[in-house]
Amino acid sequence: MPVFYGTDIQSRLMLGTAQYPSPAILADAFRRSKAGIATVSVRRESGGEKAGQAFWDLIKELDVALLPNTAGCHSVREAVTTAHMARELFDTRWIKLEVIGHADTLQPDVFGLVEAAKILTEDGFQVFPYCTEDLVLCDKLLEAGCEVLMPWGAPIGTGLGLNNIYGLRSLRAHFPDVPLVVDAGLGVPSQAAQAIEMGYDAVLLNTAVAKAGEPAAMAEAFALAVEAGALAYQADPMEPRDMAAPSTPVIGKAFLE
């Protein structure tokens, strides 16, 4: 199971808490998923007169580790300010750092991301950066103090799966001892299984479960998929080959002349 900043996590599945049809459905999805971490936006807790208090009470009842995020932030200053708000609200040093650089694709601003990560780690935060699968960027994030990397599979909310298999495999090979989480873009459980089969430590998703016809059932399906992926990875899968190879031995076969 993954270990993030010295904390053992009991599941390879991480779930977001946005867009669910109702609080009851959200709670049911988390129970059936057995997710180890819930991501939550600070924006749900903002406003006057304890806005979002009922949601916060629900999240506490889920009894999972919380990973606040800076979703929707488009500048270093905004992300850093939001992270400080999150630390006060949720009493945790963890922060999922998002600095969005492109409005259509929600691709991270890689320059702002590194700058914000450095500022936050120096201030005692334990940063989970939402990033691309670029090796140079990830190296810079590690130099900035990050101990976990969260490359996207595809743009947030698209359900396109793992768009750059080569890049994700290269990242895993280049940083064998760094916890890696595929974050964003997963649409179906088979894509999550594929990520774990590649050696990724966990997956994080939200829309694929929250927007499913039956969110709780989909959450359970993703839970089973990451278990299957982990077992497959541990079993050391066969290497693909270009030519067919008989699975039945030909030794002892009768030859007719």
For 20, 28, 34, 113, the CA distances from 17, given in Å and listed in that order, are 7, 12, 14, 23
Inside any domain, residue 250 = no
Inside any domain, residue 22 = yes
Per-residue model confidence (pLDDT) at position 47: 44
Euclidean distance between CA atoms 114 and 144, whole angstroms:
7
Q: Are 94 and 5 in contact (CB under 8 A)?
A: yes
Residue entry with tokens 């064998």 = 176
**Binding-site residue set for 1-deoxy-D-xylulose 5-phosphate:** 157, 184-185, 206-207
Tokens of 138: 């990830």
- Which of the following is catalytic: 50, 60, 96, 253? 96
Inside any domain, residue 252 = no
pLDDT per residue, tens digit, the chain (257 aa), is: 899 999 999 999 999 999 999 999 999 999 999 999 999 988 655 544 455 667 777 877 888 899 999 999 999 999 999 999 999 988 999 999 999 999 888 999 999 999 999 999 999 999 999 999 999 999 999 999 999 999 999 999 999 999 999 999 999 999 999 999 999 999 999 999 999 999 999 999 999 999 999 999 999 999 999 999 999 999 998 888 888 888 777 666 655 66
User: Total domain count for the chain?
Assistant: 1
Query: Comparing C-alpha atoms, which of 110, 211, 230, 229 is closest to residue 157?
Result: 211
Inside any domain, residue 242 = no
> 45 lies in which domain range?
10-235
- pTM for this one? 0.89
Inside any domain, residue 247 = no
Inside any domain, residue 254 = no
CATH of the domain at 40: 3.20.20.70
Inside any domain, residue 45 = yes
**Binding-site residue set:** 157, 184-185, 206-207
Longest Cα–Cα distance in the chain = 92
Catalytic annotation on 96? Answer: yes
- The per-residue b/e assignment along 54-71, b for 16 or more CB within 10 angstroms, e otherwise, is ebbeebeebebbbbbbbb
**Between vectors from CA 165 to CA 35 and to CA 195, what angle results, nearest 5°?**
20
Inside any domain, residue 3 = no
